[in-house]
Each structure stands twice: as C-alpha cells, then as structure tokens.
Amino acid sequence: HATVGGGVGGVTGENFPPDVEAEANSYFQRLYSNQHTVDNTVEMLTRFRGSANRRERDIFGCMVHNLFDEYRFFPKYPEKELRITAVLFGRLIAHQLVLSMTLGVALRCVLDALRKPFGTKMFAFGSEALEQFKQRLPEWPQYCQHLAAVPHLPQAHPDLASLLGAAGEQRGVSQLGRDEPSMMGGDNG
C-alpha cells in the first residue's frame, strides 16, 4: 500500500519504474522474512547509494522513499516487523545514508514517535531507532533540546540523561550543529 510519487517532505517524489519498485520490495521481503539481516541491508544500501549503476541508485532511492512513505502505517505493523523497521530506520541515520532534508524528515519521524506515550508501539519504534544513532546526537544540539523536552525519554534511555539534561539547559541558546537539519515547526515545547 505504499504509493510512490507523492513525495514526503523533501524525499524525492520520483515515479520509479515498476521493475525498480518490485526489486526494492523484494529486498524488504527478504529483510522481514529473515533471509537478510539489517546489517546486510544497510551494507547493500550503502553500496547502491554510491553505485555507478543508475538502477542500483534508483533501488536505493526507492527503498528509502518507500520506508518514509510507510511511516504513517507503522502503527499497524506487527511488533517484529516494526522492530526490524526501527533498526533499519535508525541505521540509515547512523550511517549517514539520509542527508539534509531527508535526514530532517527521518529525525522528525523518530521525535514524533518518541512523543507518543511510553509503552506504545510507536514509542518503542522511536526508542529502537534512536538507539541505533545515539552516537550522532552530539552533532545535533537543537535536536537534543527537542528530545530533552520528552518527559518519559530518560526512562527508556537512562544512558542519554546527562546529554539530554545538558541540552535542556541550553534551550533556546544553542545553534544548529554544522550539518543539523532544522526542526522548526515541530516544536510543541
């Protein structure tokens, strides 16, 4: 039920050829049926993104596009598939496979999920995704401020308490990190 071509806040809205769509979907099927690990999939996506072969670059673009396009359906995912998706989502951020506006969309999806009540499926998704890229948080001081405003986050990530506590104290002061996408408009704090 992923529709391609609508474009999701900065994710390219290209129409991918049907054979590219089919191949991209086959990689997701292998991932969800345990034929591929998330690590295999991330390695493949890294290779495809830098490939000289246009078709491989298109498959990379299609897979990333479909992942973002599916975000609104994540609450309907079974737990196992949602967990796999969360790890993949977080690793795309950790391995710098999404950049600029697309990175902004990815980070906003995670923040949005983390704002859901503790114990919900979507909070679990956000928490698992965050776990994958938490080593990059110091690059994004303003994002850390948004995270610091989520009251139940330290419960799930006590290891981030000092980083987020420091960020909370800098609220309204810190500048965007060098490559940090702006989260303007998403702040309900």
What whole-number distance in Å separates Cα of residue 43 and Cα of residue 94? 12
For residue 52, give the DSSP letter.
S
- Between CA 72 and CA 96 the distance in angstroms is 23
pLDDT in tens, 15-51: 899 999 999 999 999 999 999 999 999 999 999 999 9
Structure tokens at 3: 């529709």
User: Per the structure block, which two tokens stand in for 107?
Assistant: 């980070």
Structure tokens at 99: 């950049």
Q: Rounded to two decimals, what is the model's pTM?
A: 0.84
pLDDT digits (tens, 9 = 90+) for 70-116: 999 999 999 999 999 999 999 999 999 998 889 999 999 999 999 99
- Say which DSSP state 178 is in: T
